[in-house]
C-alpha cells in the first residue's frame, strides 16, 4: 500500500517538483497539493493523507501556526521543507519542537536543482515519517529543577556520548535539560545538515543548564559543557595527556551520514574507554550500533532509548540487536540513568 502524501507549499514550482520526485517512488503516491494552510486543512479532511510535507513560509497563515493547530486537532506525520537560511534554521527547530517528524532543505537559489539533489533524502524521510510515532515527536517538558550530582564527584573523569537522528533534536533537549551545570562533558552526534546545527546548539544552550557549543576543531572538552557535531562534519574525541579535545573532520560519510554516530562513539571508545557513558536515542537506520558495541567492549556503559518513547526505533533497535546495549529505558529515564552511571 503506497504512502499517501499531501504537499503544502505556496510555490507552484515547488509543488510540481515535490510531486514529480515523490511520485517517482512506487511506494509513495501524492494524492494532492495545497497552496496555503486553509486549502490544506480542507484537503486533509477530504483526502486523509498519511504524511504531509509543509513549507515554513506561506501566505495567509504561517507554517508554524498551521503546524501547531494541526498537532493539537489532528496529529499526523509532517516533514518540513525549509529554506537553507539562518531564519529557516530557527523556524525549523521550532517546527520540530511542535511535533514535525523531520525536515528537508531547499536552497534559496536554483530550487529545481536543489530539490532534485535531495530527492533520495526526501523519499526516505517521507517513508520514515509514515512509520513514526507522532505522539513521541511532540515536545516533552523536562522537570523544572535539574538533577544534582554529588559535590565530591570529579566530573573530569567521565565523558558522556549521545547519538541520535529522527526525533533526536527534541529527545536531546529533554535529556540535557535535566543535566546539572556541573555535569560531565557531553559530546553529541545528531544527524543534521550544515546550516542547522548551529541553531540547534544555540537552542540547547538557551534551554538547558549546560553551556552548549557547535563543536570546533581543537576545542577542549570540559565539564558543564556539551559539544554538538557541526552539520556536514564528523566529530571525534581525542585525548592528549589527561584532557580530551574535539577533532572535526570532513572525511567520507559513514553509514551515509556526516556527522556519524559510529564515528563519534568509536573515537570515544578509544579516547575515554571505561570512563565513557553513552546513549543512543531515537533515529532511523543503524548508525551508532557498531560504535556502541566498541564502547561496550571498551568497558563503557551503554544505554538505548526504548521503542515506545522513540519516534523511530531504528538506531536504538539496531544497537540492541547487535548486543551493544546494557540497558533499555524510556526517554524520561535516560538523563537519570546516564548521570547515575557517571557518578559511580
Domain count for the chain, please give it. 2
Residue that finishes a domain, picked among 137, 169, 185: 137
Same domain, 322 and 182: yes
Same domain, 174 and 303: yes
Residue 260 resides in a domain: yes
Residue that finishes a domain, picked among 107, 137, 167: 137
Same domain, 27 and 125: yes
**Catalytic residue, candidates 165, 267, 278, 310:** 165
**CA pair distance 207, 221, nearest whole angstrom:** 20
Residue 147 resides in a domain: no
Residue that finishes a domain, picked among 137, 172, 190: 137
- Asked if the model's pLDDT at residue 111 lies above 80, the reply is no
Residue 145 resides in a domain: no
Residue 282 resides in a domain: yes
Cβ atoms of 283 and 312 within 8 Å: the answer is yes
Residue 146 resides in a domain: no
Q: Give the per-residue pLDDT at 330.
A: 98
Same domain, 62 and 186: no
**Catalytic residue, candidates 50, 55, 82, 191:** 191
Residue 74 belongs to domain with CATH number: 3.40.50.2300
Give the count of beta carbons closer than 10 Å to the beta carbon of residue 238. Answer: 14
Q: Give the per-residue pLDDT at 257.
A: 96
Q: What is the mean pLDDT of residues 268-297?
A: 98
Same domain, 333 and 241: yes
Q: Give the per-residue pLDDT at 194.
A: 86
Residue 144 resides in a domain: no
SS (H, E, C) the chain: CCEEEEEECCCHHHHHHHHHHHHCCCCEEEEEEECCHHHHHHHHHHHCCCEEEEECCCCCCCHHHHHHHHHHHCCCCEEEEEECCHHHHHHHHHHHHHCCCEEEEECCCCHHHHHHHCHHHHHHHHHHHHHCCHHHHCCCCCCCCCCCCCCCCCHHHCEEEEEECCCHHHHHHHHHCCCCCCCCEEEEEECCCCCCHHHHHHHHHHHCCCEEEECCCCCEECCCEEEECCCCCEEEEEEECCEEEEEEECCCCECCECCCHHHHHHHHHHHCHHHEEEEECCECCCCCHHHHHHHHHCCCEEEEECCCCCCCEHHHHHHHHCCCCCEEECHHHHHHHHHHHHCC
Catalytic site residue 55?
A: no
Q: Give the per-residue pLDDT at 137.
A: 83
Q: What is the mean pLDDT of residues 185-200?
A: 94
Q: What is the mean pLDDT of residues 1-18?
A: 94
**Catalytic residue, candidates 50, 262, 287, 306:** 287
Q: What is the mean pLDDT of residues 283-302?
A: 98
How does pLDDT run across 120-178, given as a tens digit for each residue?
Answer: 999 999 999 999 999 888 787 877 677 776 655 555 689 999 999 999 999 999 999 99
Same domain, 161 and 306: yes
Give the count of beta carbons closer than 10 Å to the beta carbon of residue 181. Answer: 13
Same domain, 181 and 330: yes
Residue 60 resides in a domain: yes
Q: What is the mean pLDDT of residues 272-290?
A: 97
Same domain, 99 and 161: no
Cell 570540559, located at residue: 222
Range of the domain at 285: 155-342
Catalytic site residue 234?
A: no
Same domain, 80 and 213: no
Same domain, 165 and 308: yes
- Asked if the model's pLDDT at residue 29 lies above 80, the reply is yes
Share above pLDDT 70 across residues of the chain, in percent, rounded to a whole number: 96
Asked whether the bond before 114 is cis by omega within 30 degrees of 0, the reply is: no
Same domain, 249 and 318: yes
Same domain, 168 and 250: yes
Residue 184 belongs to domain with CATH number: 3.40.50.180
Residue 149 resides in a domain: no
pLDDT band at 87 (very low <50, low <70, confident <90, very high): confident
How does pLDDT run across 240-259, given as a tens digit for each residue?
Answer: 988 999 999 999 999 999 99
Catalytic site residue 191?
A: yes
Amino acid at each position: 500500500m503506497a504512502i499517501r502524501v499531501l504537499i503544502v507549499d505556496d510555490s507552484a514550482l515547488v509543488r510540481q517538483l515535490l510531486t514529480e520526485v515523490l511520485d517517482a517512488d512506487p511506494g509513495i503516491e501524492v494524492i494532492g497539493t495545497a497552496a496555503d494552510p486553509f486549502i490544506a486543512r480542507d484537503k486533509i479532511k477530504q483526502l486523509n493523507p498519511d504524511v504531509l510535507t509543509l513549507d515554513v513560509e506561506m501566505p495567509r497563515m504561517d507554517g508554524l501556526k498551521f503546524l501547531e493547530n494541526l498537532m493539537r486537532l489532528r496529529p499526523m506525520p509532517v516533514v518540513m521543507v525549509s529554506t537553507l537560511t539562518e531564519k529557516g534554521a530557527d523556524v525549523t527547530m521550532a517546527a520540530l519542537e511542535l511535533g514535525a517528524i523531520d525536515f528537508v532543505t531547499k536552497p534559496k537559489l536554483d530550487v529545481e536543482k536543489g530539490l532534485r539533489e535531495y530527492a533520495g533524502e526526501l523519499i526516505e524521510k517521507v517513508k520514515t515519517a509514515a512509520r513514526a510515532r507522532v505522539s513521541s515527536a511532540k515536545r516533552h517538558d523536562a522537570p523544572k529543577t535539574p538533577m544534582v550530582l554529588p559535590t565530591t564527584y570529579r566530573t573530569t573523569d567521565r565523558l558522556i556520548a549521545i547519538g541520535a537522528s529522527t526525533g533526536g533534536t527534541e529527545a536531546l533537549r529533554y535529556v540535557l535539560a535535566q543535566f546539572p551545570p556541573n555535569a560531565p562533558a557531553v559530546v553529541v552526534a545528531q544527524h543534521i545538515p550544515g546550516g542547522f546545527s548551529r541553531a540547534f546548539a544555540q537552542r540547547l544552550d538557551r534551554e538547558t543548564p549546560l553551556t552548549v557549543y557547535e563543536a570546533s576543531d581543537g576545542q577542549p572538552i570540559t565539564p558543564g559543557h556539551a559539544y554538538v557535531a557541526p552539520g556536514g562534519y564528523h566529530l571525534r574525541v581525542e585525548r592528549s595527556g589527561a584532557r580530551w579535545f574535539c577533532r572535526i573532520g570532513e572525511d567520507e560519510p559513514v553509514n551515509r551520514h556526516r556527522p556519524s554516530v559510529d564515528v563519534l562513539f568509536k573515537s570515544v571508545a578509544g579516547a575515554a574507554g571505561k570512563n565513557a557513558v553513552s546513549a543512543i536515542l531515537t533515529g532511523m537506520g543503524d548508525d551508532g550500533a557498531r560504535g556502541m558495541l566498541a564502547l561496550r567492549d571498551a568497558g563503557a556503559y551503554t544505554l538505548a532509548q526504548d521503542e515506545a518513547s522513540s519516534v523511530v526505533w531504528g538506531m536504538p533497535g539496531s544497537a540492541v540487536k547487535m548486543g551493544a546495549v546494557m540497558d533499555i529505558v524510556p526517554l524520561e529515564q535516560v538523563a537519570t540513568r546516564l548521570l547515575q552511571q557517571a557518578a559511580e
